[in-house]
Structure 1
Amino acid sequence: MAPAITCRVMTWMFVFVLVSSLVPTAASAERTKTVEFNVKPGGVVHTFSQSIMDYECSFTYASQGGTNEQWLMSVGLSDEDTLFSCSVWRPQGKSYLFFTQFKAELKGTKIEYANAYSQTAGAGQSDVPLRPDEFTIGDATVTHNDGKFNAQLSKLTAIGRTRHDEL
């Protein structure tokens, strides 16, 4: 990816995540939406999805241990309809669940940027990117790598370029 595009995508992602963290769940706008959902343990595969216009983000996972955790999913569409973003995270910090698998899929876009994170334990918790070998970024998906993924996930972010044609 060209440095100018990477910088523009990263800037837009930062602004989206910052704004979505300040927007109350009930006050979602037409171009952004933040929704709370339960991540359920038990080893069963679950999927949670949200969409804006023709674009959809689906988060599919299976996890073990503990009890349900409250997570958030934010989806957003840039003003020019050229970028669609999806972030899934646990707002309370570190997840105590062990994820046996995860996959995020962006429908109607081609992923230009994605990353997955775990969190360090302790009072100064911070996001720690997963090792590059723990997950794979495809054209429309971000997926765990069997045998490499360390079962820790606290946040997943993906930004896709829409198939919006310029006039």
Structure 2
Amino acid sequence: MDNLHWESFVYAIVAFLILYLLLNKYAFGPLFGIMEKRRLLVKEQMDNAEKNRQESEKFLEEQKQALQQARKEAYEIIEQAKTTGSKQADEIVQAARGEANRLKDEAVREIESEKNKAVASVKAQVSGLSVLIASKIIEKQVDEKTQSELVDKYLQEVGTKS
């Protein structure tokens, strides 16, 4: 029985070796190849994910900087608009003041012209009245009191005509 026992042990080892070789050639080899491919694929996906994460962080930082730059430019535009608006308001006020001064000067000239016309008109009327008074005085040969009354009367007439 010892023989059988060693023989079955040897047969078992030989069968096991044959099975191992067959499994190694047809099962373990392809299985390990698939597992290696899967490991490489997972590693590649992890590397891509890390690369994408870094690119996303870089893009996010660029976007933050672009947003900050846009805010800065918007603030500068607002400040420039305020400055321009203030400057334009000052220019409008200066133009209005200049126009007011021009209108005032024109009104003063007009008043002066009207005053000169009125004075000339009064002088012409006084001259006419003087001639009229002189002719009346000559006609009547009145005394000094009557002459004074006539001058006052004609001056009152001039005052009411004006």
Q: Report the TM-score, using the length of structure 1 for normalisation.
A: 0.18
Structure with greater Cα Rg: 2
Question: Which structure: greater strand fraction?
Answer: 1
Greater RCO (CA < 8 Å, at least 6 residues apart): 1
Higher normalized helix content (fraction of residues): 2
